[in-house]
Amino acid sequence: MARVSDPLTINKTLLKNRMTMAPTVKFDYAGEDGKVTDKHIEHYRKRAEGGLGLICVEATAVTPGGRFAKNHLGLWEEAQVEGHRAISGVCHENGVPVIIQLNHTGIISNPACGPAIGPSAVPTRNPEILSKEMSIAEIHEMQEQFVAAAVRAKKAGYDGVQLHGCHGYLINQFAAKKTNLRSDEYGGSTVNRARFGSEIISEIRKSCGSDFLISVRTTGIEPDIATAIEIAEEYVKAGCDYLQVSTGIEWEDPTVDENNEHYNRFCSLGVRFHEHFKGRVPVSCVNGINDAAQVKYLIENELVDTVDLARAVLADPAFCSAVLEDKTYNKCFGCPRCQYGPAMPHKCPAGGGI
């Protein structure tokens, strides 16, 4: 039987246990320059001290135009590397490997940051305005931006990167039929729709080496689980080491279990992926995993390889140590609007601070 305390090696990166920190954006920590601040460093230092097996730093923009807002962290230029080196440093000092999530918002780009661009001309945040369809040259240029950001991440001391391939952002937009209406090599078949992300993975592998951990936070349903698995298979063929499963743009699969007493239907996507990829590629699940019993159930029953934690480690940075040592912890209250969300004070009522 697997245990939460069991180590796990992904590519050449050793995780000391099976609990990982999911990327959760701190919208008011960065300035318009996209640079790391002392708040970021302290935030990740506290979670590293709290016993995590792996940390994934929040969604980080690969171009200024691909930000959520003007106070969104970036890795689009060399001047941003030094600050990221400080984050990786405090994680490594506490024996925790760390990767960083790379992202572009694409069709749902913030107008204050840049134009809405994507695989096809489809409705944006404003339904009356269509996004700009990217040319082949623009697609290749964007792929190069992702790869360049990954190279900077390696310079900054990160053990790897996670590509944000879900939640309706650019890589997911290429993978989804609803937002990808192309008829060229980047549209149509599942293989073609996955090509944008797959080629980024292949080029990161070439540029960053065989030991560099490449994860994809991939869609677990698009519009069904079978199609989402086909997309993930392309990422794995391209060199993805680790699938961290969440949700996508469309949800039309009646086979998704909504009645499991131990985890929700979002987590069930990761469980289904694990059934498919077991023994080939490690798989995580995420969403609503806020207590020790859930963590232990998912790992000890070998339903997934790792669990991604968000609110649990925001509410209590030492949540993981508490789980491992069977101690009490500050439990997430499940606030309808998480205090770590946009325009919120980042003062969790359960006790978690920076």
pLDDT of residue 261: 86
Tell me the pLDDT of the chain averaged across its residues: 95
Whole-angstrom distance, CA of residue 226 vs CA of residue 249: 15
Cα separation, 324 vs 292, in Å, equals: 9
Can you give the pLDDT at residue 260? 84
The string over 265-300, giving b where at least 16 C-beta atoms fall within 10 Å of a residue's C-beta and e elsewhere, is bbbbbbbbbbeebeeebbbbbbbbbbebebbbbbbe
Given a cut of 70, the residues of the chain with pLDDT beneath it are 343, 352-354
Main-chain phi, psi angles of 84, to 5 degrees: -65, -30
Residues in the chain, total = 354
**Distance between CA 306 and CA 243 in Å, rounded?**
10
**Domains of the chain, start order:** 9-281 (3.20.20.70)
pLDDT digits (tens, 9 = 90+) for 85-97: 999 999 999 999 9
Q: What is the pLDDT of residue 354?
A: 62
C-alpha to C-alpha distance for 306 and 298, rounded to whole angstroms: 8
Enter the pTM of the model. 0.97
In this structure, are strands 213-219 and 242-246 parallel, antiparallel, or unpaired? Answer: parallel
pLDDT tens column, 120-143: 999 998 989 999 999 999 999 999
pLDDT in tens, 166-189: 999 999 999 999 999 999 999 999
Q: What is the pLDDT of residue 352?
A: 67
